[in-house]
Amino acid sequence: MAANSGKLTICVGDIHGHADRLYKLWHNLEVTIEDFHKSTVIFLGDYCDRGLQTAQVLDFLISLPRRYPQQKHVFLCGNHDLAFAAFVGALPDAPDGFQFKSTWAEFERSQEKEGWWSGDGEEDVHVQGRRWGGRIKIAFNAVKGVFYQGSIYDAEPTFTSYGVAHGDRAGLLAAMPESHREFLRNLVWVHEQGDDTGDPKTSYTKLIAVHAGLESSKPVEPQLQSLRNRDVTAPRVEPLAGRKNVWNTPPELAEKGVLVVSGHHAHLYTDEKLRLIIDESGGLDLPIAAIILPSRVIVRDTDNEESEALLEMPVPAIAGH
């Protein structure tokens, strides 16, 4: 657990391959926050898919520690990032003897409908990687009211950002810089820090950031331990992928004044003192939002739209890695 440094904390919602929006949001944060260069910035996960610029997003994020050395950067793993990492062989290490094929059974009833990826090396791919690289047979996502982009994860634009066809695993592996795979491999699954502000309206004893949230119906500590260990043996990681079951702050944490922050839910929810959900866009045509703590000021990429500086954000080219 990181100690409270007294610095501002900024939580950035899901980016989903929209590098241009990320550059604008970053600029707006920089001009809004006086001590921006000394702040802690927590990216809440889901850097890939849906938008056309995943490779550029990863380039930008990888560059931040060098460009802003006084900042603390936390890169959380989202469910899309886990699936992307699974497909390209960049998951954290599995226990000795564990076979990723053992994760398939829970989802196999959906294999034909979801059109899982198959090819050389498929037996070494976690189920979420096969779902990510596959091609879903139902074209329209009725829940979101949009068409799927390649797979159930909307992964086709990620392939496109690397200049390869959807489902071309060999091509993607050849096109991806090693730094991108290492970025995916090193993503943290939970971040914990002490942050008591002393203000009764905003104070909390501890901040826990996790992509989707924590299950209220299960003991918290085993969930946190699994996240700290980045346990890749489960077919589905609920704190990274859950929905209603992870919406609320678990009562045992609320009693202790612990704030839970997540993205994932395609929603901006700031109504409760101890639960924040920062994902206004969901990867769709809506703003990317960030929240500044402890003030709870919301900053969006759509703020200050007139600024010409937004068009000049320096991002290293993929070929440079």
Catalytic residues: 80
CA 308 – CA 305 distance, rounded (Å):
8
Helices 54-67 and 178-186: crossing angle in degrees, nearest 10, is 80
8 A C-beta contact, residue 17 and residue 158: yes
Burial class (CB in 10 A: 0-12, 13-18, 19+), 93: exposed
197 touches 203 (CB < 8 A): yes
- Given a contact cutoff of 8 angstroms between Cβ atoms, the answer to whether 252 and 215 are in contact is no
180 and 196 in contact (C-beta within 8 Å)?
A: no
* Site of tokens 């203000």: 199
From residue 118, give the alpha-carbon distance in Å to each of 62, 123, 135, 136. 30, 9, 10, 13
